[in-house]
C-alpha cells in the first residue's frame, strides 16, 4: 500500500507571510511542481558529552539541542508563480495591483534587516507521512537562462518549526494481550490501508530487556482504533508498555492545497538589455544581446544569521540579514574590446541592465504577459576575462549590482494571475 517514489511526493508553499516566525500560515497555499531533490530538511541538533571529563573514553550521553531546517527548492523550467514567490521572499516587500484579469507585483528590497517567513507542507511519497514546516527564510536564489528554459533555484534557511502527521504512542497492557486500543483512529478507508498505516508495534516482555516486534493482524476502523496482534508478546498478565508507531487521523493542514496551471518560461522569450539608462520607471535605450549571449545568471544572497536568544523556548528564532548581495554573470561572444575597457576602468565605467522574461499573454489583461522584469540600474564590472565557449572566444563578465541611490539596486516586477505575495 505504500509508495515511496520521490515523484509521488508533493510540496506546497504559502504565498501569505507568517504573522511571526514559526506561526504557520494557513491561507494563500499552493502546491508547486519542483525538481527532484527539492525539499526542506528539518533535523534536531544532537550533541554528546565526548568533549567533557566524564570518566570514559567514549561519549556516554546525548543531548537534544535546537531544531534546524535548511534546503533547496528548484524548477529547471521556472514558472511565474514560483519566480514571484522566491523574489518576494528574498527581497522582502511586494505591492500587488490588478491589471485587467491579471496582477502586477512590484517587488522591492526591504531596508530592514528582518525578512518575512513562509510555511511549507511536504508530503513524503504518496502515503508515508506529511510534515508542515514553518519559520522559513529565503537565504538566496539563482536565476539562469539555461538550455531552452529559464531555471530558478532557491536556498531556504528555517527556524525549525515542525509538525508531523505520524504518531508514537505508548499503550500499557498485559503481556499476553492480543488487542491494543489506541487514543486515536488509524487513518485509512479500508482494512488493508489501515494495516499499512501501523508502522510498528514493539514491546519488552516482563523481566526482559530485549524488544519483540509484534506482528499486526488487523486494525479496526473505530475511533479509537483497536489493533489485533497475530500472537502475544508474553505469556503472563503482567503489564508492559507497547510502543506503537502509526498514522492517526489526518490533521486539516495535511490536505494539500490545489496547484495552479502556469506555463514555464522559455529562453527564446527572454530579453537581455545592457548599457541602457534607467529613467525611474523603465530602462531606456541600450543594446539587446541576442545570438552573442552565451550565458546569463542572476544570483542573490541575504547572508542570514540565524540565532536564538534568552526566552526563546519554542521553535522560533531570529534571522537577520548580514547584508544583501546581488551579482550577475554575463557571458557573451568576444566581438570587441568595450567590455575589456570597462573592466579596466571600474571607477568610472558603470552599466545598467535588464532581464525581461516574457511568456504567453494573460487573457483579459490588456496585453500583459506572464513573466517578470528585473532591472539593475547600476552595475560594476569586477572582471571580464577572455575565455572560450566551444571553439569560439568569449567574455565572462562578472558584475556586482551597486546601490543606485533610489531603488536599492534592483527593480523587480512579476506578472501573473495570482492576487499577491507576502
129: its cell numbers: 507521512
Q: What is residue 342's predicted lDDT score, i.e. its pLDDT? A: 83
Distance in angstroms (rounded) separating the CA atoms of residues 155 and 300? 10
Q: What is the pLDDT of residues 269-290, one digit of tens each?
A: 999 999 889 998 899 998 999 9
Instruction: Give the count of beta carbons closer than 10 Å to the beta carbon of residue 247.
Output: 25
Q: Are 409 and 401 in contact (CB under 8 A)?
A: yes
Please choose, from the candidates 118, 135, 110, the residue with its C-alpha nearest in 3D space to the C-alpha of residue 324: 110
Q: Are 100 and 365 in contact (CB under 8 A)?
A: yes
Please choose, from the candidates 376, 302, 371, 410, the residue with its C-alpha nearest in 3D space to the C-alpha of residue 105: 371
Please choose, from the candidates 6, 73, 72, the residue with its C-alpha nearest in 3D space to the C-alpha of residue 34: 73
Does this model's pTM top 0.85? My answer is yes
Q: What is residue 250's predicted lDDT score, i.e. its pLDDT? A: 94
Using CA atoms, how far residue 127 sits from 4, 30, 217, in Å, is: 8, 19, 20
Residue whose C-alpha cell is 561572444: 333
DSSP state of 134: E
**3-class SS of residue 125:** coil
**3-class SS of residue 185:** coil
DSSP state of 149: B
Q: What is residue 201's predicted lDDT score, i.e. its pLDDT? A: 98
Q: What is residue 274's predicted lDDT score, i.e. its pLDDT? A: 92
176: its cell numbers: 499476553
Q: Which residues of the chain have pLDDT under 70?
A: 1, 311-317
Examine residue 224 and say whether the peptide bond preceding it is cis (omega within 30 degrees of 0): yes
Instruction: Give the count of beta carbons closer than 10 Å to the beta carbon of residue 320.
Output: 16
Amino acid at each position: 500500500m505504500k509508495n515511496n517514489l520521490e515523484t509521488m511526493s508533493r510540496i506546497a508553499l504559502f504565498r501569505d507571510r507568517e504573522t511571526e516566525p514559526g506561526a504557520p500560515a494557513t491561507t494563500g497555499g499552493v502546491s508547486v511542481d519542483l525538481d527532484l531533490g527539492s525539499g526542506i530538511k528539518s533535523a534536531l541538533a544532537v550533541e554528546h558529552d565526548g568533549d567533557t571529563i566524564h570518566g570514559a573514553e567514549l561519549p556516554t550521553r546525548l543531548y537534544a539541542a535546537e531544531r534546524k531546517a535548511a534546503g533547496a527548492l528548484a524548477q529547471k523550467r521556472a514558472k511565474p508563480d514560483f519566480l514571484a514567490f522566491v523574489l518576494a521572499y528574498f527581497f522582502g516587500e511586494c505591492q500587488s495591483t490588478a491589471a485587467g484579469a491579471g496582477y502586477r507585483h512590484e517587488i522591492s528590497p526591504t531596508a530592514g534587516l528582518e525578512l518575512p517567513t513562509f510555511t511549507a507542507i511536504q508530503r513524503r511519497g504518496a502515503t508515508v507521512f506529511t510534515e508542515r514546516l514553518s519559520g522559513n527564510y529565503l537565504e538566496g536564489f539563482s536565476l539562469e537562462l539555461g538550455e531552452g528554459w529559464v531555471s530558478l533555484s532557491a536556498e531556504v534557511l528555517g527556524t525549525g518549526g515542525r509538525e508531523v502527521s505520524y504518531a508514537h504512542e505508548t499503550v500499557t497492557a498485559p503481556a499476553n494481550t492480543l488487542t491494543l486500543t489506541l487514543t486515536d483512529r488509524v487513518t485509512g478507508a479500508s482494512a488493508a490501508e489501515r494495516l499499512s498505516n501501523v508502522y510498528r508495534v514493539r514491546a519488552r516482555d516482563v523481566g526482559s530487556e530485549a524488544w519483540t516486534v509484534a506482528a499486526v493482524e488487523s486494525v479496526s476502523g473505530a475511533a479509537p482504533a483497536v489493533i489485533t496482534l497475530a500472537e502475544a508478546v508474553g505469556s503472563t498478565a503482567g503489564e508492559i508498555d507497547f510502543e506503537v508507531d502509526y498514522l492517526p487521523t489526518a490533521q486539516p493542514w495535511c490536505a494539500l492545497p490545489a496547484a495552479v496551471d502556469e506555463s514555464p518560461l522559455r529562453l527564446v522569450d527572454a530579453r537581455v538589455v545592457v548599457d541602457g539608462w534607467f529613467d525611474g520607471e523603465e530602462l531606456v535605450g541600450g543594446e539587446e544581446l541576442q545570438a552573442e549571449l552565451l550565458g546569463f545568471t542572476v544570483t542573490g544572497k541575504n547572508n542570514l544569521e540565524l540565532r536564538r536568544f534568552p526566552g526563546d523556548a519554542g521553535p522560533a528564532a531570529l534571522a537577520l540579514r548580514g547584508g544583501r548581495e546581488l551579482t550577475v554573470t554575463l557571458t557573451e561572444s568576444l566581438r570587441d574590446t568595450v567590455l575589456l575597457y570597462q573592466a579596466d576602468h571600474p571607477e568610472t565605467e558603470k552599466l545598467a541592465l535588464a532581464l525581461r522574461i516574457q511568456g504567453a499573454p494573460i487573457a483579459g489583461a490588456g496585453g500583459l504577459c506572464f513573466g517578470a522584469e528585473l532591472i539593475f540600474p547600476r552595475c560594476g564590472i569586477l572582471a571580464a576575462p577572455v575565455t572560450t565557449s566551444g571553439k569560439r572566444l568569449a567574455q565572462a563578465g562578472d558584475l556586482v549590482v551597486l546601490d543606485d541611490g533610489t531603488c536599492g539596486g534592483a527593480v523587480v516586477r512579476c506578472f501573473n494571475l495570482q492576487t499577491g505575495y507576502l
